[in-house]
Amino acid sequence: MRQVPHWIGGREVAGTGSRRLPVFDPATGEVQAEVVAATTEEVRTAVRTALAAQPDWRAASLSRRAEVMFRFRDLVDGHRKEIASLLSSEHGKTIADASGEVARGLENAEFAAGAPHLLKGGYSEQAAGGVDVYSIQQPLGVVAGITPFNFPAMVPMWMFCNALVAGNGFVLKPSEKDPSVSLLLADLLRRAGLPDGIFNVIQGDKEAVDALLADPDVKAISFVGSTPVAQSIYETGTRNGKRVQALGGAKNHMVVLPDADVPAAADAAVSAGFGSAGERCMAVSVVVAVGSVGDKLVEEIATRIGRIKVGAASDPDAEMGPLISQQHRDKVRSYLDGDGGEVVVDGRTAAISDGPGFFLAPSLVDKVDTGSPYYQDEIFGPVLSVVRVDTYDEAVQLVNDNQWGNGTAIFTRDGGAARRYQYDVECGMVGVNVPIPVPVAYYSFGGWKASLFGDLHMYGPDGLRFYTRTKVVTSRWPDPATSEVDLGFPKVR
Ligand code: NAD
């Protein structure tokens, strides 16, 4: 059985631990590799390696660090197909979807390549007589990233591009469910000229995460995953004195007003609800049909669902792949056994949902009761709920009362209503006739409420701020002839 190694000090290193974690091919259900879960000692080795290498990397010129990002960007560009097919072989998403993930990851290398401009501090000449004040952004030291299974290439790139270009050392703990692409990215960073030891990958699960959380040399942790784990990592990490940004789960509402273009809204709901089998943190999982739009919208969504081709990534016609594991597939499927809504399209009845592989065809549930598990849980699978409300105000109340606040979208032809929604809604990312409003890399990504624990969003300007700390220098070059003793508090006037 192929064993997935760590990456420490610029090369692959075989794991020495005794625990083995299976890596499935979700399209067949077979185990294709195994992760040797990292021990606490191995995590320590990775952190020490980064710690030893970081001072020289920090001392490298900004243009040198940016050059590595430029080269990395070109290497990722040149290896798009390889990265996409590797990640889809372990995740199960279609090649087209995986290619989109790589493209959105690449944006982060492009943004980070602009660091010489972005890391410029401020400078105030003559803040007081003969005194200048300026600010500097300095790296934190060694930082760690802990990433989820659903974007094994993009989410690590959200983190490490900015962290590295700012002069930090990095330890990545990717998802144990689709770990291999992290090694390909590590190798591309090496080929881009990143010095050995600056970027390290530790394979494993909670044990490795706990070791990172306890390690005093890890100065900051970026986490993306489910809400309970995000919250616990935020609490433990900050208690241990680290800077933490922890992005959690979501329940993304797509509000459709009566004046919306219904076919366009139905296209959007189906694309955003079932793309990547619903395993996206920005997936639309609830359509909120306002007023009279409900019946027509449900009919149009159901028609489109009937045309979705479910299959393995190796099938060029497939539009939606399997779920990540048998356990997860069974859990998602079990929602359809419960009450709380009218099942309009039942994915359980499709032949492909009986296996092999972890497939579940798309389902649509109308008239969902907001107290039911359909609405209360982040199902994270191809089950789209429709909640019917009478008014815009009820729709906004629903979204704002929900525990999560990652993304949301409104579909309408009324610019005033859209503007009001962007003002009223309590979510970090809003789409206006755009169902998956993932910001481009020169903005930042983050939800509100239980979708993010911490202060700064991820990637973009917030990302660079997260991976640097500010130093402010107050400087004077006095003329010795004018120097005097003055015990008063320094004044600027
Ligand atoms: P997960 O929380 O199970 O795992 C995420 C990471 O944490 C993995 O690396 C895993 O090994 C580690 N982990 C798991 N349990 C842990 C524990 N008890 N202690 C310490 N570490 C632990 O999430 P997942 O199933 O890989 O990913 C799906 C979830 O991630 C969904 O909830 C989804 O909404 C969320 N997600 C959020 C965003 C976002 O930007 N907000 C993006 C992608 C995914």
Tell me which of 19, 35, 104, 150 to substitute to probe ligand 1's pocket, judged by most ligand atoms within 8 Å of the beta carbon. Answer: 150
Instruction: Tell me: pLDDT of 481 over 90.
Output: no
Residue 244 Cα to ligand 1 midpoint, Å, equals: 15
Same domain, 229 and 322: no
Mean pLDDT of the region 330-349: 97
* Same domain as 277, residue 404: yes
- Tens of pLDDT, residue by residue over 430-455, are 999 999 999 999 999 999 999 999 99
Q: Are residues 264 and 244 in the same domain?
A: no
Tell me if 477 is assigned to some domain. no
Name the nearest CA neighbour of 15 among 210, 215, 203: 203
Same domain membership, residue 256 and residue 240 = no
For ligand 1, whether the C-beta of 176 sits within 6 Å is: yes
330 and 228 housed in the same domain: no
Residues 6+ apart with CB under 8 A from 371: 340
**With a 6 A CB cut-off, is 281 part of the ligand 1 pocket?**
yes
In a domain, 322, yes or no: yes
Ligand 1 centroid, distance to 146 Cα (angstroms): 8
Residues 329 and 464 in one domain: no
Q: Is pLDDT at 479 greater than 80 in this prediction?
A: no
Calpha distance 361→346 (Å, rounded)? 8
Residue 257 has a pLDDT of 98
pLDDT at res. 482 = 74
Per-residue tokens: 112: 């980070």
Domain span at 187: 3-248+451-472
Contact by Cβ (8 Å): 113, 162 = no
Is residue 418 included in any domain, yes or no? yes
Q: Is residue 391 part of a domain?
A: yes
Does 440 reside within a domain? Answer: no
- Considering the domain architecture, whether residues 339 and 466 belong to the same structural domain is answered as no
Residue 382 lies in a domain: yes
Residue 290 lies in a domain: yes
Q: Are residues 406 and 356 in the same domain?
A: yes
254/407 Cα distance (integer angstroms): 9
Is the confidence at residue 484, as pLDDT, over 90?
no
Indicate whether 372 and 461 sit together in one domain.
no
pLDDT band (50, 70, 90) for residue 288: very high
Q: What is the CATH number of the domain that holds 230?
A: 3.40.605.10
Bridge partners, 424 (sequence order): none
Angle at 232 between CA 328 and CA 371, to 5 degrees: 55
Query: If residue 375 lies in a helix (H) or strand (E), which one and from where to where?
Result: helix 373-376
CATH number for 263: 3.40.309.10
User: pLDDT tens digits for 85-136?
Assistant: 999 999 999 999 999 999 999 999 999 999 999 999 999 999 998 999 999 9
Which pLDDT belongs to residue 483? 80
- Integer Cα distance of 200 and 197 in angstroms: 6
- For residue 161, indicate whether it is catalytic: no
71 part of a folded domain: yes
**pLDDT bracket for residue 394 (50, 70, 90):** very high
* DSSP letter for each residue of 62-127: HHHHHHHHHHHHHHHHHTHHHHHHHHHHHH---HHHHHHHHHHHHHHHHHHTTHHHHT---EEEEE
Residues 177, 156 share a domain: yes
Ligand 1 binding pocket includes 276 (Cβ within 6 Å): no
**Centre of ligand 1 from the C-alpha of residue 150, in Å:** 9
Residue 490: pLDDT over 90:
no
Tens of pLDDT, residue by residue over 200-211, are 999 999 999 999
Assess whether 104 and 201 both reside in one domain.
yes
**pLDDT computed for residue 234 by the predictor:** 98
pLDDT band at 192 (very low <50, low <70, confident <90, very high): very high
For ligand 1, pick from 158, 181, 224, 358 the residue to mutate: most ligand atoms within 8 Å of CB. Answer: 224
Residue 80 has a pLDDT of: 98
What total of structural domains would you count in the chain? 2
Measured in angstroms, how far is the CA atom of residue 247 from the centroid of ligand 1? 9
Note the pLDDT of residue 492: 75
Co-location of 392 and 467 in the same domain? no
